[in-house]
Homo-oligomer: A and B are copies of this chain.
Amino acid sequence: MANCKVTLYPMDKEIEIPIGTSLKKAMDLAGLDFDFPCGGRGRCGKCRLQIREGSVPPSDADYNHLDDEEIQAGFRLACAVKVQEDLVVELPLADTGGHKILVDAAMKEIEIKPHLSKTYREVPRPSIEDQQSDWDRLRDALGSDNVCRISLSALQALPGVLRENKFCCTAVVSGNEVVGMEAGDTTERMLGMAFDIGTTTVVGYLMDLLTGKELGVASSMNPQTKYGADVISRITYVGQEAGGLERLQSAIIEVINRLIEDAVHDAGYVREDVYAVSVVGNSCMHHLFLGLNPKHIALAPYVPVTGSPQDVDAHTLGIHINPAGKVYVLPNIAGFVGADTVGVILATEMDQSSEIRLAIDIGTNGEMVLGTRDRLLACSTAAGPAFEGAQISCGMRGTKGAVDSVQLGEDIVYTTIGGEKPKGICGSGLIDAIAVMLAAGIIDHRGRILSGDQLSGTRAERFASRVVENEGMTSFLLAAAEETVHGRPLFITQRDVRELQLAKGAIAAGVEILLEKYGIMPEDVFEVILAGAFGNYLDKHSACAIGLIPSSLEDRVKPVGNAAGTGAKVALLSAGEYRRAAHITSFVEYEELAAYPKFTEIFSKALYFPRVEQHV
């Protein structure tokens, strides 16, 4: 029998087939993944393509589904074409999957390929001649050897769904399993929600899983704070209170359900439109979310229960989304380097870079990652709560009225969040203030606030009147009583300086040890990535001035915002990126600072501030 040649665009594939072969068969043989929703029976009209060269007489199906103009222009339904001569055919671009989007302004492009997919089918109806079961006929209609299982709940829904809309239905598929069934064509609607569970706040991003578009954000305080402000106190609570783990888990699940409800409501959807949830958080938040006892994170040798990604059915966790919904929890690297850090690496692609990058996520714990695609080192240091304004005499969180930046002019100039009268000082303001005091010579490099007497006759003499005794300590008056909202003055006390030294010393020591283990000098670092909200507000000059970041890297500091949250979005939108997360945790080498021989020595030195050149 004579052969014809079919050339398929835009993929530019050629295939030879015997005359009379159907175009559908030819496309199968060419290995194309082209969708025939009705199984190629000319019913749905969705397999249209354009014949660019060669002649194909229109079929009945073409007349039913295409208008005259389209037929004139060479459009045909692929399923009805029998190839009689050489053809050149133009296929439409697939309208879902495979396209790239920019996840975040500062971030990377990824290919959207969510964990779950939806497939619409017009399933052939049963008859006395074709008594196949509902599931077997659906599986055949799906036409993929891969899909070979169906969950019990989908199976229970199946007979009703098929008969609700003339055997037209949409299957929700996860891996090789049908996990949900919906009547009619619902392929256009599939949302997900990416969560960053912080010790203090929880943020959820509502995402369209088909386009990658962000549809909304919802956030809330982490309700677990009432059982303990920090990770260690929550772990203690779990260890001491019967039912403590269940209580903390319920609290976080409850707020996640509320955030989902809020986000879908605001965006005009319902929670059944949400099929996937991804989660990042530090190791403790990760454990509490999954109901894993975090006890051993806090006890030497500080091991988490798992360092692998965990997929869970949403209903198992009590998360109220679509009944077919799944939850994808990113893996931890170590007891104090959690899935949030994995999110940062995913988002910044440090693991794929040939340039040496240093990522720092500053919080109560500072997590740091250093390296390239060839080697990544991570560590965690207990920075304490100073950067969050806690345990600082006039400290407060970065909300309205907080002094958030301090500059040195003729006098001390500060700004507040919202431009209001100052109420207290937040982390970024504190770092600025200390940097200014250092620059002005009010604090020496050991962290001592010089007394008014000591300042007289120095270049800092003009600030001598601001140094006063307060609560028995030498203190620096940042704002006088008449300037503040509550009529009380704002001081930076000697103890505040010591707290900050402990915090910055911990981070700086971590950075120094990572550099030493890696065998490089600070100057070898191409970029310093500051992750987290705090990194965004931090003044990089001040950060270098107090020695938080090596001063030689000041120009290479790049704040990236909530990179952990971006990592959660990436893992939600792309199953491949989620799998990459598993690779990242096994690839990253974790350095336990407590076990590092020179840690105490390096930490002690890091408590000092850099010496200031005396040019003020």
Residues of A at the B interface (CB closer than 8 Å) are 126-136, 139, 150, 152, 155-156, 158-160, 290-293, 295-296, 300-308, 310, 312, 316-317, 332, 334-335, 590, 592, 594-595
Give the complex CA separation of A127 and B308 in angstroms.
19
Closest to A329 in B: B152
Contact of A159 among B131, B152, B293, B300 (CB under 8 A): B293
Contact of A136 among B159, B307, B592 (CB under 8 A): B307
Contact of A133 among B152, B290, B303 (CB under 8 A): B303
Docked-complex contact A303 and B128, CB < 8 angstroms: no
Question: Which B residues lie within 8 Å of A292 (CB)?
Answer: 155-156, 159
Docked-complex contact A152 and B310, CB < 8 angstroms: yes
Contact of A155 among B160, B310, B592 (CB under 8 A): B310
Closest to A293 in B: B159
11 contacts between A and B (CB under 8 A): A131-B302, A131-B303, A133-B304, A134-B304, A136-B306, A150-B308, A152-B310, A152-B317, A158-B306, A159-B292, A159-B296
Docked-complex contact A335 and B131, CB < 8 angstroms: yes
Question: Which B residues lie within 8 Å of A334 (CB)?
Answer: 131
Contact of A293 among B160, B302, B594, B595 (CB under 8 A): B160
Contact of A303 among B132, B291, B303 (CB under 8 A): B132
Closest to A137 in B: B303
Closest to A296 in B: B159
Give the complex CA separation of A148 and B316 in angstroms.
20
**Known interface pairs A159-B292, A159-B296, A290-B155. Does A135 touch B301 (Cβ–Cβ under 8 Å)?**
no
- Name the distance in Å between A250's Cβ and chain B's nearest Cβ: 15
Question: Which B residues lie within 8 Å of A291 (CB)?
Answer: 152, 156
- Name the distance in Å between A210's Cβ and chain B's nearest Cβ: 27
Question: Which B residues lie within 8 Å of A302 (CB)?
Answer: 131
Docked-complex contact B129 and A595, CB < 8 angstroms: yes
Top 5 nearest A-B pairs (CB, nearest first) are: A133-B307, A135-B306, A128-B595, A126-B303, A133-B304
Give the complex CA separation of A456 and B305 in angstroms.
91
**Known interface pairs A332-B133, A595-B128. Does A305 touch B152 (Cβ–Cβ under 8 Å)?**
no
Give the complex CA separation of A135 and B332 in angstroms.
12
- Name the distance in Å between A359's Cβ and chain B's nearest Cβ: 20
Give the complex CA separation of A296 and B156 in angstroms.
13
Known contacts A132-B303, A159-B293; 10 additional CB pairs below 8 A are A128-B592, A131-B301, A134-B305, A135-B308, A139-B308, A152-B290, A152-B312, A155-B305, A156-B291, A159-B292
Docked-complex contact A158 and B303, CB < 8 angstroms: no
- Name the distance in Å between A313's Cβ and chain B's nearest Cβ: 9
Docked-complex contact A156 and B290, CB < 8 angstroms: yes
Question: Which B residues lie within 8 Å of A310 (CB)?
Answer: 150, 152, 155
Give the complex CA separation of A67 and B292 in angstroms.
44
Question: Which B residues lie within 8 Å of A301 (CB)?
Answer: 126-128, 130-131
Contact of A590 among B127, B131, B290, B592 (CB under 8 A): B131
- Name the distance in Å between A35's Cβ and chain B's nearest Cβ: 24
Give the complex CA separation of A334 and B131 in angstroms.
7
Closest to A327 in B: B152
Docked-complex contact A136 and B590, CB < 8 angstroms: no
Question: Which B residues lie within 8 Å of A308 (CB)?
Answer: 133, 135-136, 139, 150
- Name the distance in Å between A583's Cβ and chain B's nearest Cβ: 13
Give the complex CA separation of A158 and B312 in angstroms.
16
- Name the distance in Å between A244's Cβ and chain B's nearest Cβ: 14
Docked-complex contact B152 and A316, CB < 8 angstroms: yes
